[in-house]
Chains A and B, each alone.
Chain A
Amino acid sequence: MSTDLDPVEPLEPVGSATAEPLLAAVLGTDGVAEVFSPHSRMRRLPALLVPAVGGAEPEVAVVDDGGHPAVAVRIATSSAQSTVDTARRVADRLIAAADDPGATVDVEVARIH
């Protein structure tokens, strides 16, 4: 059923079994201060939208995008280190951990402190 509140066609969640090692990779990256849910901004939307993002929210989102994992993470970085370098390190780790030549990675820095 389609409604006005259903703006996107959600991709299939791959599952926490895949996300957990990726989360560990992010948290273990030098300069990362926090990891937020990529969907935290949706938390207060109507409940009917929650299933579209998979219910329980992993801090690293992994969805199936045409047979390849699409990884998304929102992080806070430490201002003591270069945010640019930290974000690149996170991306490098996620690409390596995804272990799929078709994988894509989206890193968003939402806070620097």
Chain B
Amino acid sequence: MTGDDGIVLECGRTIEELSTYLDNGRTPRDPDIENCPECLNALEALDRVGQLSRDLIADEAVHLPALPEGWFQGILTAVRAEVGTGRSLPVQHPDPRVRITVTEGAVRSLLRAAGDSIDGLFVGRTEIVGDADVPGAPVQVRLTATAAWDRDVTELAERLRTRVYRVLAEHTELNVTAVDVDIVDVHGYDPADTAPSGTPGTPGKDLS
């Protein structure tokens, strides 16, 4: 996880600092990082990317061709772009003395975690489009993802869409009018799996 694109969290830390901290096994423990929600959201996403990287590299070593250049970099760029606090998404309360908000960063991190938990799928970019900080305003959610080569892309996309609707209904009051899922890549392509009647894709092929 190298290369600094200059993204700085509101707490002042960079993604590079957090990557280094993660690479060092989160030791020595930095209480400021461990008590900063933006840092924790970023660490969680970086850790999942790292785990996927290790899994696929191990798989590659056995029988798969090399991953397309820039595959991980693309995911890391997406993670970097969305780790900030973002907008404040309102939650209504009957008492006018109360103000409740959920940070956009928390919601996007939740969407990423929900998507990554689907076997065979890995979330790339997440985006909440619309006036999400206005109560009741219609918003669209847009996600990109990569799918495992041997999985049904349509089924994975539908599972992701359903899960996103569910978690947003449970954890926010967003008026979600659409969830658009774009499967933009495949991973784990194995030429040996090519069936005679099938037409294999290409690693890194853009399916959008």
Residues in chain A within 8 A of chain B (CB atoms) = 34, 36-37, 40-45, 74, 76-77, 79, 82-84, 87-88, 91, 95, 102-113
Contact = CB atoms under 8 A, between A and B. Distances in A.
A44 B108 CA distance: 24
Contact of A110 (B13, B37, B95, B100): B37
Given A88-B91, A108-B101, A112-B107, A37 B35 contact: yes
Contact of A107 (B100, B109, B110): B100
A45 B100 contact: no
A92 to B, nearest CB: 8
B11 A111 contact: no
Contacts, number: 106
B95 A91 contact: yes
Interface in B81-103: 85, 88, 91, 93, 95, 97-103
Interface of B: 10-13, 32, 35-38, 40-41, 44, 85, 88, 91, 93, 95, 97-103, 105-107, 109-110, 113, 167, 170-173
Given A79-B167, A104-B98, 14 more contacts: A37-B35, A40-B11, A45-B12, A84-B172, A88-B91, A95-B98, A104-B99, A108-B100, A108-B101, A109-B100, A110-B105, A111-B37, A112-B107, A113-B109
Given A91-B93, A113-B44, A43 B12 contact: yes
Interface of A is mostly: mixed
A106 B90 CA distance: 11
Interface centre among A77, A82, A83 (most CB of B within 10 A): A83
B40 A111 contact: yes
A32 to B, nearest CB: 13
Contact of A41 (B38, B41, B109, B173): B38
B40 A87 contact: no
